[in-house]
Structure 1
Amino acid sequence: MFGVNAVLSGDVLSDLAYELWEARRLGHTLEATRSDLPKTILEAYEVQEAIVELSGLPRCGYKVGSTSKEAQRLLSTDEPGMGVLLAPFVQESPARIKISPEQMPAVEGEFAFRLGRDLPWRAEQHSLAEVVDVIDGVAGVIEVVGTRFSGGLEGKGRLLTTADGGVNIALVTGNWHEFSGQNLREHGVTMTVNGQLRGRGTGSRALGDPLNVLLWLVNHQSNRRADLKAGEIVATGTCTGLDPVHAGDVVQADFGIFGSVVVEFEKNT
């Protein structure tokens, strides 16, 4: 196990964290064939945490990615990964988001949970029932993803994706609803771009059930000796696949009884 405040393994990874934060802030990319890339998952999460510290921004939750087989194939990984959500990059629908073409941005329609109380880390694994008991609300969200490493998302692998904050650009939330055991596994979600149907799917695309993703995140953070806090949100991975977007596009994810989420994109200048 390792803590969220672990010290980076040398100045080289510290430099990488700084450059990744600048790439996110300014909208450019870095070479994906550098010699200073993380060599282990420990180093990858150290880089991610260093970026959070460099940003000086409050965290408001987490996104979990690579929760579908399609996403795992695209990224050349066989497991989920976590990224920290920073408050200024989380907005309510309808939203306007700035994107940079070289980061190859795309959108995903997914479910998110909001926690109603703190969930401290512990050595013993949490059960699904315990995790469900802390859910304060559920919402449909659009995650905007894109890589700060050159060449797009394909083949980046678990280490680069994790170091790069789970490739999160932004998260846009719909209205929050009480979670009363709704069957999200079979709940349909559709994504349109400029009025044209693109992605579609159900909650089962995310580890079989978005609740399974939340359970994974809770135990993953416990293994890292990291607490979860009341009010934090957890985005659980795509139900609709990955749909590329460009400046000027308007996208809408329809979550049925949970409402719709709308995002308009503009160029990051």
Structure 2
Amino acid sequence: MTDFDTEAAALELFRARLTRKPCHAPGQRFAIDSLARAEQVQSALLAMYQKAGQEIIGYKLGLTDQRAQAATGIGQPLSGALLQAWQYWDGDAIPVAGLIEPRVEAEVAFVMSRTFDDPQAGLAKLLDSLGGALPALEICDSAIEGWPRSLFEALADNLCSGLFVLGSRPVDPRSLDFAGLPMKLSRSGETLAEGNGSQCMGSPLNALLWLARQRAAEGNPLQAGDIVLSGALGPMQPVGRGDQLRLELGALGVLNCRFV
């Protein structure tokens, strides 16, 4: 194991993404052994993307299953960033050429309409700050060979971000029962995964509120126009070229895409 080196770890992850050649065990090799160190590496990695001309347009949540939080001892969600170049829409053809080992999760996407800058505010303030909710698929990926061996590695690698696909018809979040939202993910008519909103911190709104408060407390609040992916409503599934996916999210609507 080498000494902790934020920039060296971030550069290795960045190059692995660019070349599609995953790196080996960066957590062990660069001593990424805490949340604080993982967050430092993620921040440096995102700065490299921004220097290369990429724009951060939102954020994503992970570890939103409360059982997983308890099992890992972390006791909270984790977050990463979304880049504009990674965004696709309902009906799009999703290219796999730039991905390494993609996997897909069904999620809820929220779009902010106002700044949320009060770390003590509750759901009423959050709902007032939302412009809409959409069905979403997150196409997760990893720069790490065999996928991360620890949550610290995953967090450093921008929480295994890849691409994301959004529905095209926003729904008023006040009209939805997010906790009871049914989820069904299918591939070419075959059911891959089922779940519901309660699997995401009891409700995807709870996950969003956690992130909104966290960022407000850090002085970097969610802003109007930001997109936030809630975290998974069911198990992650592998995906590849030729797959046609359909996500059904109850009253939130339907999303379709194909991988090419």
Q: 1:102/1:257 Cα in 2 relative to 1: closer, same or farther (>3 Å)?
A: closer
Aligned equivalents of 1:46 and 1:28: distance in 2? 23
Q: Which residue of 81, 92, 95 corresponds with 2:92?
A: 95
Aligned equivalents of 1:11 and 1:118: distance in 2? 35
* Alpha-carbon displacement from aligned partner over 1:49-91 (angstroms, at most 9, x marks no partner): 2122111211111010111257659989653100100111011
Q: Which runs of 5+ in 2 are unaligned?
A: none
Aligned to 1:134: 129
Amino acid across the alignment from 1:98:
P
Q: Which residue of 120, 127, 133 corresponds with 1:125?
A: 120
Aligned to 2:212: 218
Is residue 2:155 matched to residue 1:162? yes
Is residue 2:176 matched to residue 1:172? no
Is residue 2:227 matched to residue 1:233? yes
Give the RMSD, CA atoms, in angstroms. 2.5
Is residue 2:146 matched to residue 1:151? yes
Q: How far 1:111 moved relative to its partner?
A: 0.8
Aligned equivalents of 1:212 and 1:181: distance in 2? 16
Amino acid across the alignment from 1:14:
E
Q: 1:170/1:29 Cα in 2 relative to 1: closer, same or farther (>3 Å)?
A: same
Aligned-pair identity in percent equals 26
Q: How far 1:40 moved relative to its partner?
A: 2.4
Q: 1:66/1:53 Cα in 2 relative to 1: closer, same or farther (>3 Å)?
A: same
**Is the 1:44–1:162 Cα contact (8 Å) retained in structure 2?**
yes
Matched positions, count: 253
TM-score normalised according to structure 1 size:
0.85
Q: How do 1:1-269 residues align onto structure 2 when only pairs under 5 Å count?
A: 12-32=5-25, 34-56=28-50, 57-69=54-66, 78-99=75-96, 103-120=100-117, 124-153=119-148, 156-175=149-168, 176-266=170-260
Aligned equivalents of 2:109 and 2:41: distance in 1? 25
Secondary structure of 1:230's aligned partner: coil
Aligned to 1:5: none
**Is the 1:103–1:149 Cα contact (8 Å) retained in structure 2?**
no
Amino acid across the alignment from 1:108:
E
Question: Which moves more between the two structures, 99-108 or 237-246?
Answer: 99-108
Amino acid across the alignment from 1:247:
R
Q: 1:110/1:71 Cα in 2 relative to 1: closer, same or farther (>3 Å)?
A: farther
TM-score normalised according to structure 2 size:
0.88
**Is the 1:28–1:100 Cα contact (8 Å) retained in structure 2?**
no
Q: Which runs of 5+ in 1 are unaligned?
A: 1-9
**Is the 2:4–2:32 Cα contact (8 Å) retained in structure 1?**
no
Aligned equivalents of 1:12 and 1:254: distance in 2? 43
**Is the 1:75–1:157 Cα contact (8 Å) retained in structure 2?**
no
